[in-house]
Amino acid sequence: MRHLLDTRTLTRDEAILILDIAEDMSATQQREVKKLPTLRGKTIVNLFYEDSTRTRISFEAASKRLSADVINFSAKGSSVSKGESLKDTAQTLQAIGADGVVIRHPASGAPAMLASSGWIDAGVLNAGDGTHEHPTQALLDAFTMRRRLFGENSRGRDLDGISVVIVGDIMHSRVARSNLWLLKVLGANVSFVAPETLLPYGTREWPVTIYHSLDTAIREANPDVIMLLRIQTERMHAAFFPNEREYARNWGLNDVRVAGLQDRTIIMHPGPMNRGLEISAGAADSERSTVLEQVANGVSVRMAALYLLLSGERGESA
């Protein structure tokens, strides 16, 4: 694999390959010595134009466990705030000799631009771009589902026929989009639940069932997985819903709704959580919740992605 930019163009086989390698990576994380020599001598740059502590430390942990050298670059306080363009930054990284660039950018498409520009030879890994995609998040979610559903027999499996309900701010969520494309290619049935104001234009053309009521969705979609999205107060520049209490009442996963779920249904959240808003403390701390597993699995999935991107001859397409 040359770059990992989105999940929309991933094939089923590629997705399963990444998840299977993540299984092996996860097995190494149970050992006393967690570090592998795999990417010794490689340099990975975490190029973060947007603040994100958890994604950055997850990538940093993944790179370090593979013995790569990590350079963290945050736009704040860097030459970017002095007006340096993405092109100049990329050329600087090229001169430093970066083998891989993990990029988080507020503009949708920035990683694709970096990958296709010819400014830099390094493998580009999208760590979230605007409202477009966040592929490693979707992969770690799929990995977590597969683990919970199939346990030891996960290897090689897809998610055929699994019902996944994604609730919340679909419009601003790259996680929802990346998950939709990946879950579709793995064979799952996806439903979105959100107030009409938080559904992006064109959603009805996507391969997804849309509900406005969480209770109806739980009744009709019979979910194996409920995924709550964070209400991103920093992106709420307009009145998308009347107030937080009303949101919590209509679209929040409260204890009553949790009690009505089937035994096997798991609760996922990409974090950080707004307890009491999209998820109740009871739901977040219950046995069903996979929030911390998702964090741990994130490191394994990112190790797999970095391994696939940086091993093998640079420049080959396979």
Partner 1 sequence: MKETRTVLESADISRALTRISHEIVESNKGVDGLVLVGIPTRGTILAQRIAEIISRIDGSTPVAVGSLDITLYRDDLARNPMRPSQPTEMPVTGIDGTTVVLVDDVLFSGRTVRSALDALNDHGRPKVVRLAALIDRGHRELPIRADFIGKNLPSAKDERISVRLEELDGEDSVTIS
- Summarize as ranges the residues that interact with partner 1 (CB under 8 A): 1, 17, 20-21, 23-25, 27-28, 31-33, 35-39, 66, 155, 307-308, 311-314, 316, 318
Nearer to partner 1, 39 or 283 (CB): 39
**Taking the complex as a whole, how short is the minimal distance between the CB of residue 71 and partner 1, in angstroms?**
19
113-122: long-range contacts at Cβ-Cβ below 8 A with a sequence spacing of 24 or more?
A: 113/86, 114/86, 114/90, 115/2, 115/3, 115/5, 117/87, 117/90, 119/87, 119/90, 119/91, 119/94, 120/90, 120/91, 120/93, 120/94, 121/94, 121/314, 121/315, 122/45, 122/93, 122/94, 122/98
Whether 3 has a binding-site annotation, put simply, is no
**Separation CA 125–CA 39 (nearest Å):** 16
Nearer to partner 1, 29 or 52 (CB): 29
- Residue 131's identity, in one-letter code, is T
Nearer to partner 1, 226 or 306 (CB): 306
Whether 55 has a binding-site annotation, put simply, is yes
Whether 230 has a binding-site annotation, put simply, is yes
Q: Which two tokens stand for residue 113?
A: 């631009």
Task: State yes or no: cis peptide before 272, omega within 30 of 0.
Answer: yes
Specify whether the CB–CB gap between 168 and 194 falls below 8 A: yes
**Taking the complex as a whole, how short is the minimal distance between the CB of residue 37 and partner 1, in angstroms?**
6
Whether 272 has a binding-site annotation, put simply, is yes
**Taking the complex as a whole, how short is the minimal distance between the CB of residue 61 and partner 1, in angstroms?**
16
Whether 104 has a binding-site annotation, put simply, is yes
**Taking the complex as a whole, how short is the minimal distance between the CB of residue 312 and partner 1, in angstroms?**
4
**Taking the complex as a whole, how short is the minimal distance between the CB of residue 260 and partner 1, in angstroms?**
39
Nearer to partner 1, 44 or 217 (CB): 44
Q: How far is CA 262 from the centre of its chain?
A: 26
**Separation CA 136–CA 125 (nearest Å):** 9
Residues that constitute the known binding site for L-aspartate: 82, 174, 230
Residues that constitute the known binding site: 54-55, 82, 104, 134, 137, 174, 230, 271-272
Residues that constitute the known binding site for carbamoyl phosphate: 54-55, 104, 134, 137, 271-272
